[in-house]
Amino acid sequence: MSSTVRVGVVGFGFATATFHAPLIASVPGLELIAMSSSDPAKVHAAWPQVEVCESPDALFARSDIDLVVIPTPNETHYPLAVKALAAGKHVVVDKPFTLDAGEARDLIARAESAGRVLSVFHNRRWDADFLTVQKVLASGDLGRVAHFESHFDRYRPQVRQRWRESGAPGSGLWYDLGSHLLDQTLQLFGTPQTISLDLAKQRDGAAADDWFHAVLRYDTLRVILHGSALVPELGPRYVLHGTLGSFTKYGLDPQEDALKLGGRPGGADWGIDPRPGVLTISSGDTLIPHQHAGERGDYSRYYAAVRDAILQGAPNPVPASDALKVMQLIELGLVAFRDGRVARVGELG
């Protein structure tokens, strides 16, 4: 068996240039072979050794590609993944997986039939702050958790000319950032009982939702997921309250900003968040706050696990079945918003 997975990437947009290409190149046992692009000069300026194919179909037809990565506009994920699987490739699809649960189920069936690994790039499972939240919950220091609040807010007051903000199918913050928050919530707490959702277009000229507020109900736990593009003064990223204490964390994981500046995983400071959280624990009638240092984040762990899943049959780091659950909640949230009601999970089948 080969010790290298040869990788082809569809397109050279923001997601490829910022996330996928640098992360793939940082993982031993992955070799970035080719990309499809209509602008070879742009690709070669950043990745001179990478071959450029004129179309995704030409990329899929290459016999020297084992794994195809699809970080393209959301409405293209399904048709491109269908073609890549039909060409016998393993496939990584950027989040959100598809436009709806029906497309997700079909891709899962096709991958199973082809005997290929199908994974979804929910990279924020490897955020430093999310890994810290997991550790805090596992410690039991908070007791029984009653309230979990997760914000992904930014200040981007100007609407940009890009597909994510176009109003096209799969655009808007609920698909873009809501998919991250839903995946993290499912990892922490499992499937909720109900979901309600409010959406808004708050910026001048907005064509897609740029604000969302979702409430997920569990037995005694309530989960609030919130995202906005119009927050000049950022509040906490995470807030957790339990019967024995609370945990609060400000600031986003530093990896995205580092990648935008040309940083690469592997350095001594990679994935270290300099902003500690605050863990407040009750001691009798007294509440005692402590600074709580974060875990180290590392998005490259995702691609290392994909490599091992392909070469060794190791567990898929984000199985498509996990991403299907995210798509079901995205879709059900939209139903709840459209009907102005609380939707019970499972009612869509």
List, for residues 177-223, the tens digit of each pLDDT value.
999 999 999 999 999 999 999 999 999 999 999 999 999 999 999 99
- The parent domain of residue 113 ranges over 5-122+301-315
If asked whether residues 206 and 255 sit together in one domain, one would say yes
If asked whether residues 262 and 276 sit together in one domain, one would say yes
pLDDT tens string 227-254 = 999 999 999 999 999 999 999 999 999 9
If asked whether residues 108 and 51 sit together in one domain, one would say yes
- Stated pTM of the model: 0.96
pLDDT tens string 49-71 = 999 999 999 999 999 999 999 99
If asked whether residues 275 and 143 sit together in one domain, one would say yes
If asked whether residues 160 and 105 sit together in one domain, one would say no
Query: Hey, what are 62's tokens?
Result: 């290459």
Could you give the percent of the chain with pLDDT greater than 70? 99
Are 327 and 347 in contact, with CB atoms under 8 Å apart?
Answer: no
In a domain, 324, yes or no: no
If asked whether residues 280 and 305 sit together in one domain, one would say no
Are 345 and 40 in contact, with CB atoms under 8 Å apart?
Answer: no
In a domain, 183, yes or no: yes
- Considering its fold, how many domains does the chain have in total? 2
Report the pLDDT value the prediction gives residue 71, as an integer from 0 to 100. Answer: 97
Please report, for the domain that includes residue 244, its CATH number.
Answer: 3.30.360.10
Report the pLDDT value the prediction gives residue 1, as an integer from 0 to 100. Answer: 54
Report the pLDDT value the prediction gives residue 256, as an integer from 0 to 100. Answer: 96
Scan for tokens 């009798």, then name that residue: 284
pLDDT band at 284 (very low <50, low <70, confident <90, very high): confident
CA dist list (Å): 113 to 57, 151, 175: 21, 38, 28
Query: Hey, what are 116's tokens?
Result: 């290929």
Report the pLDDT value the prediction gives residue 344, as an integer from 0 to 100. Answer: 95
If asked whether residues 101 and 177 sit together in one domain, one would say no
Please give the single-letter amino acid code of residue 215: V
If asked whether residues 42 and 134 sit together in one domain, one would say no
For residue 349, pLDDT beyond 90:
no
Residue 96: cis peptide before it, omega within 30 degrees of 0: yes
Radius of gyration of the chain (CA): 20
Please report, for the domain that includes residue 66, its CATH number.
Answer: 3.40.50.720
If asked whether residues 140 and 74 sit together in one domain, one would say no
In a domain, 74, yes or no: yes
If asked whether residues 156 and 16 sit together in one domain, one would say no
Report the pLDDT value the prediction gives residue 270, as an integer from 0 to 100. Answer: 96
Element (H, E) at 195: strand 194-200
For residue 286, pLDDT beyond 90:
no
In a domain, 45, yes or no: yes
Rama region for 135: left / alpha / beta (φ>0; ψ in -120 to 50; rest)? alpha
Element (H, E) at 282: strand 277-283
Could you give the percent of the chain with pLDDT greater than 90? 93
If asked whether residues 136 and 75 sit together in one domain, one would say no
